[in-house]
Structure 1
């Protein structure tokens, strides 16, 4: 069963409480999303480390309940 945008946002915010999360459903099918995550906790971390933090927040749902996630991460400006 696909994940909702709200579920994705809740999981990310639970793991990264200061995150500003924007989720877009790219295909309207509940399977292909884009996420923009901005968090102070990303400062000083590489893009790979930032993405790993988000994937960890999704608790293994990538590739299963969540088929595709285009991910953009950054620290606040």
Structure 2
């Protein structure tokens, strides 16, 4: 997180890549057109294997605990590498 307290999609991406040993992270700043800070993320991590959706989201929320205090809306998709590969094949 930047000293000014401002959040950026890239800063969130770096935190998720490092904190979850993620293979793929997409962060979209969906704030434009909204009244408060909001982000949408896609995280692909082997650490999600065998974990239900709620546990996956909790892992993401733990990594971004400080940042989430400053975010009004946060949408997340969490996939294992296998789920991600299957989605990519279907495209």
Output aligned runs, 1:1-40, within 5 Å.
1-28=5-32, 31-40=37-46
Larger relative CO (CA 8 A, sep 6+): 1 or 2? 1
Bigger Rg, which one: 2
Aligned in 2, Cα 1:55/1:66: closer, same or farther, shift over 3 Å?
A: same
Aligned in 2, Cα 1:76/1:24: closer, same or farther, shift over 3 Å?
A: same
TM-score, length basis structure 2:
0.72
Q: Which residue of 2 aligns with 1:68?
A: 73
Higher helix proportion: 2
In the TM superposition, residue 27 of structure 1 has moved relative to its aligned partner by 3.1
- How many residues align? The count is 76
TM-score, length basis structure 1:
0.83
Question: Which residues of structure 1 form unaligned runs of 5+?
Answer: none
Question: Which residues of structure 2 form unaligned runs of 5+?
Answer: 83-91
* Equivalent of residue 48 in structure 1, options 33, 51, 54: 54
